[in-house]
Structure 1
Amino acid sequence: MKKIIVNKLQEFAKGIFVPVLILPIVGILFAFASIFTNSRVHNVLPFLNNSFFIDFGKILGQSLIPIIGTYLGILFAVGLSIGLAKKEKHHAALVGMLSYFVFIHSMNTYMGIKKILVPVNQLRGSGQTILMGVQIIDMGIFLGIAIGIIVPYIHNKFIDKELKGAFQIYGGPRLVFIISAFSMILFSVVATYVWPSVQQGINSISTFIENSGEIGIFTYGFLDRLLIPTGLHHLIYPTFLYTNFGGNEMVDVIKNGEVVPQMFEGARNIYNAQLSNIDSVTRFTKYTVWDARGISKILGLWGAAFAMYKTANEENKPKIKVILLSAMGASVLAGVTEPIEFSFLFTAPILFVIHAILSGLGMVAFSLLDLRSIVPNGIIDFILINIPAGIDRTGWPLVLVIGLGQAILYYFIFKFLIEKLNLKTPGRESLNENVKLYSKKDYQNKKNENTGKDIIDYLGGINNVVKVENCYTRLRVTVKDSTLIKNKELLTTGASNVIIIDKENIQIVYGINVRSVRNKVEDYLITETV
């Protein structure tokens, strides 16, 4: 049972990455929009203070508002359907979208029949809302997540089911939609009665988390790092960034040229909405603490890298220097920490626990200083969003102070433990081929040499591979038997590490080039199975 639960959680974590990967881009676009419409920016860059740039900024910002408000649920319904479907993902996406429409209209109709729809002017505080012009129970993003789980389950079960005789045309994808449609009707009726109680429970948990103060914040930051090897950290942070676990707040947004207050839930949704009309904001939301996960990525981990360099054997230092600089470049610029984290995760796991503790403490310091900065990933996001917003709205210089303090702690703690416990971090023993793969030059050479066939062969052959997916940095593969995996050979394909989760699931860390690796693998699979 434990194995089944863990496998299902890992599948969900992989699937939810599809919609989650899109939303940071929305935040970057909001940042650009705020630069064009920000009066403070106009004072520094007066050439932007004209109708062309201002109108463009307004159009860009307001065109994105529905994605984090009205359409956030459908994004997760479609995205999860794609992520969790095992085959014919395009059909799963279409059925996911249609099921969302079926649900909201069937719930509205049922509530009308039972006469439980409250008057529109009494919606606030009633637990009901208007969604895409339809009044229903307010389920927030959880509606999209629920549909994104139900639809791919039906899809995977019936996508290959063929009917006979006159009903043959209704098999496959059409059968999936038929079953999903009836399931949505049943789900909408059940949710009408069950969800209000669930929502009360969620609100109670949200209140507890908020009232637990720095203890809750530390636990969040600690788990967000500690769960990285399993990929289950993807279950932690989206909940706080996109649901009311991460707070809810009224934000003034512009609609049809008028400023209209609108409720948003989830830390990232709230501050993105604030970015859309930045001149109305005196200070960013306090819930940005849930998106301060990038503090250690920008400065803190430099201390860890420097400690590993200082403790390396003298003959290895020139090569280690290149390796660590390359790994830290990914962390600082894009917030991709796996290259540096996996350089000590398996050889010195105690350092990874220390890393998780220091990450959590960094977020606690963020909260104690009452900062309102946005630090989701690397330095690029940090600069684009916080500096134009101003110090008084964000307090962003103190983020760098926290990062510097983290770097000092990382350095002295890591250096002490490496030397005291004789930990085999990179460069502490003869460099081997596995470590060299962190070098950018070596990586490029290996990447160009290897093909999708090589990777499939090292995964145990085409008959052993069940499913291939990817997140931001890892190739996630489901196999029939992980004992057939050739770890050492996989590391020659440009991977920095191979993580065997269980007998059927492995993760191969390729970094931000993972998408091109997946394309190679899929191209080979398509060629061989056609």
Structure 2
Amino acid sequence: MTAPSRRQTLIQAMQRLGYALLLPVSILPLAALLHRLGQPDALNLPVLVLSGKAIFGQMPLIYAVAIAFGIGHKARGGLALCGAVNFLLLSSALSVLAPGLHADLVCGMLAGIITALVGPWSPSLPKPIRLYLPGPWQGPLLSALVCLLLAVPLSLIWPMLEQGISQIATDLGTPFGAFSYGVLNRLLLPLGLHQLLGNLMTLGASNQLALAAAQPLHQGYGAGLYPIIMFGLPGACFAIWLHRHRLQQLPHGALLLTLALTSACIGITEPIEFLFAFTAPWLFLAHALLTGLSFAICSALEIQLGSYFSAGLLDLSLSYGSGLHAFWIIPLGILFFVAYALLFYHMLGRSPLSLSNQHLIRQEMANIPPADPQMLAIQYLKLLGGMDNLQAISVCLTRLSIRVRNMALVDQSQLLNLGCLSWIELNEHQLVLVLGPNAGLIEGQIRMLAERQSVPLGLKPNQASSSQVGW
């Protein structure tokens, strides 16, 4: 395998892990909402508090199940169950060998990864070894054995790693460290690797204790995202709106307002950031640097405000009470709204936004997307070349990653008419559609239509074939 092929394989593997981590992360807002609503100053229902804490307390187990399910091959339901069992084995063995460690989250991640990766190796084991393992149980038993054996080196290595991760998290509390983290966090977003960077920081002892106490994660340095997500990106949308007025083009205010409110209220920023990343790299670079600046300012002002999910208004309302100097988020955010609006308006004036490849904003809308999800999925299938042209499909929050047999059959000129916010052609077979909150709904409808027509759809659009060995 050549060096570029190895790099591509590594990136794809890390992307798959990052996508798998989205499921446990997306559960955190529900747990936080239950915990907050049950407090005495809200609904005063202790059962809700206990329910929220129960979810937080089982996050390592949820990590193991989600990762095993997300990056596994066939028999994904069985993989999820094996991931849970292997986590219990690994964490129990580690607690006996090295009591007092804060390693539950890393045990959950390792158990999920081992479960998903060891299974395909079992058929290639030497025949004498396979004779001692019953056929249907080769994968589960082998992965359980690997997890038990891993507990020994992990008990020796993890104390040093935990100390190193905690030290890194402490260093990120300095303005320069926070700036570096903020810039890197945004630059990794187009590759889908920002989730890995964020989850790496949750492995430290402080964040695991925060999870157990139902407190927001990254409380020491996560405040820098709030001014960007709640104010900065809406300011960028305002700048694009002004820019289109200046060019006497249809400003498309409704679409830009929707993107801005989605970012500010819920914290889903991908539709806006993917527009910058794939059509205006200079804007995306400016966005990354401004994000780093926000992190540095919050660190210098000693603003501490964590987030459960994605630093939107929902997170702010849930995390405000446990923060430090959190009231500075609002005036700082207003300054970033003005900074984004002025800087992006000036940059767009010097180098207009190029929309030739994606046609995100057009002067006319030929059709109105169907309101019925099934009809909308059928329309997308027609533009994608029909069911026979699809090989694999997967959803990641606001995006659909699709693998097609023949890209020439895909009618990209009509995607906007169905409500597609943005899209990028990664290679001659893989296409990524940014659909917003409807992405999961459309993916489910397409899969249901495929099942009715007995058409097998794979789950790995970045792989050439969906025929994989599994258990």
Find the residue that maps to 1:529 and give its secondary structure.
Answer: coil
Between the aligned partners of 2:444 and 2:455, the Cα distance in structure 1 is: 15
Tell me the residue number matched to 1:257: none
The 3 A distance-change label for structure 1 pair 170 and 468 is farther
SS at match of 1:469: strand
Residue pair 1:218, 1:363 contacting (<8 A) in 2 also: yes
Q: What's the offset of the Cα at 1:403?
A: 0.9
Indicate whether 1:402 and 2:332 are aligned.
Answer: yes
After TM superposition, list the pairs within 5 Å mapping 1:372-383 onto structure 2.
372-374=304-306, 376-383=310-317
Shift of residue 506, structure 1, vs aligned partner: 4.0
1:376-398 CA-to-partner distances (Å, cap 9, x unmatched) read 43223323442xx39xx543332
Q: Give the structure 2 partner of residue 264 of structure 1.
A: 209
Is 1:521–2:446 an aligned residue pair?
yes
Task: Report whether the alignment pairs 1:176 with 2:176.
Answer: no
Q: Given that residues 226 and 329 in structure 2 are in contact (C-alpha distance below 8 angstroms), is that contact kept between their aligned partners in structure 1?
A: no
Write the distance in 2 (CA, Å) between the matches of 1:377 and 1:438: 34
Alignment partner of 1:149 out of 113, 128, 131: 113
Q: CA deviation at 1:457?
A: 6.8
CA contact (8 A) 1:344 1:425 kept: no
Contact 2:103 2:203 in 1 (8 A): no
Paired residue for 2:71, among 84, 95, 106? 84
- 1:234 equivalenced with 2:195 (yes/no): yes
State the one-letter code of the partner of 2:399: R
- Contact residue 229 and residue 264 of structure 2 kept, 8 A: yes
In structure 2, C-alpha distance between the alignment counterparts of 1:203 and 1:381, rounded to whole Å: 24
> Partners of 1:25 and 1:243 in 2: how far apart?
21
After superposition, the C-alpha distances for 1:470-501 in whole angstroms (9 at most, x for unaligned) are 22211134567768765445555432222344
Aligned in 2, Cα 1:298/1:138: closer, same or farther, shift over 3 Å? closer
Alignment of 1:295-334 (within 5 A): 295-313=227-245, 319-334=251-266
Give the superposed CA RMSD.
Answer: 3.7
> Match for 2:331: what amino acid?
V
Find 1:189's aligned residue among 152, 155, 180: 152
SS in 1 for 2:279: coil
- Per the TM alignment, residue 436 of structure 1 is displaced from its structure 2 partner at its CA by 4.9
Work out whether residues 91 and 104 of structure 2, in 8 Å CA contact, stay in contact via their aligned partners in 1.
no
Q: In the superposition, relative to structure 1, how do residues 438 and 5 fare at CA in structure 2: closer, same or farther (>3 Å)?
A: farther
Contact 2:377 2:445 in 1 (8 A): yes
- C-alpha spacing 1:525/1:411, structure 2 compared with 1 (3 Å): same
2:277 is matched with which residue? 345
- The 2-side partners of 1:446 and 1:495 are apart by 15
* Distance change (3 Å), C-alpha of 1:302 and 1:193: closer
Residue pair 2:218, 2:306 contacting (<8 A) in 1 also:
no
Equivalent residues in 2 for 1:28-39 (5 A)? 28-33=33-38, 36-37=39-40
Shift of 1:345: 3.4
Asked if the contact 2:232/2:337 (under 8 Å) is kept, the reply is yes
Which amino acid in 1 is paired with 2:384? Y
Given the superposition, is the C-alpha separation of residues 328 and 138 from structure 1 closer, same or farther in structure 2, using an over 3 Å criterion? Answer: closer
Mapped to 2, the partners of 1:98 and 1:432 lie a distance apart of: 45
* 1:179 shift after superposition: 1.6
2:31 is the counterpart of 1:26: yes
User: Deviation per CA, 1:433-456, whole angstroms, max 9, x where unpaired?
Assistant: 6425998x9455696643358438
Q: 2:214 aligns with which of 241, 255, 273?
A: 273
Distance in 2 between the 1:491 and 1:171 partners? 50
How has the CA–CA distance of structure 1 residues 367 and 286 changed in structure 2, closer, same or farther, with 3 Å as cutoff?
Answer: farther
State the AA in 2 paired with 1:230. L
TM-score by length of 1: 0.73
- Identical amino acids, percent of aligned pairs: 23
Structure having the higher Rg: 1
Q: Which has the higher contact order (CA 8 A, sep 6+)?
A: 2
Q: Write the deviation string for residues 96-121 of structure 1: whole angstroms up to 9, x where unpaired.
A: 11112222344466x4xxxxx6xxxx
SS of the aligned residue for 1:498 comes to strand
Q: What secondary structure is seen at the aligned counterpart in 2 of 1:468?
A: strand
The 1:453–1:311 alpha-carbon spacing in structure 2 relative to 1, beyond 3 Å, is closer
C-alpha contact 2:63 2:105 (8 A) present in aligned 1: yes
Aligned pair partner of 2:433 in 491, 504, 508: 508
Structure 2 residue ranges without an equivalent (≥5): 1-5, 457-471
* 3-state SS of 1:508 partner: strand
Structure 2 letter corresponding to 1:424: L
Q: SS of 2:34's equivalent?
A: helix
Given that 2:119 and 2:142 are in contact with CA atoms closer than 8 Å, whether structure 1 keeps it comes out as: no
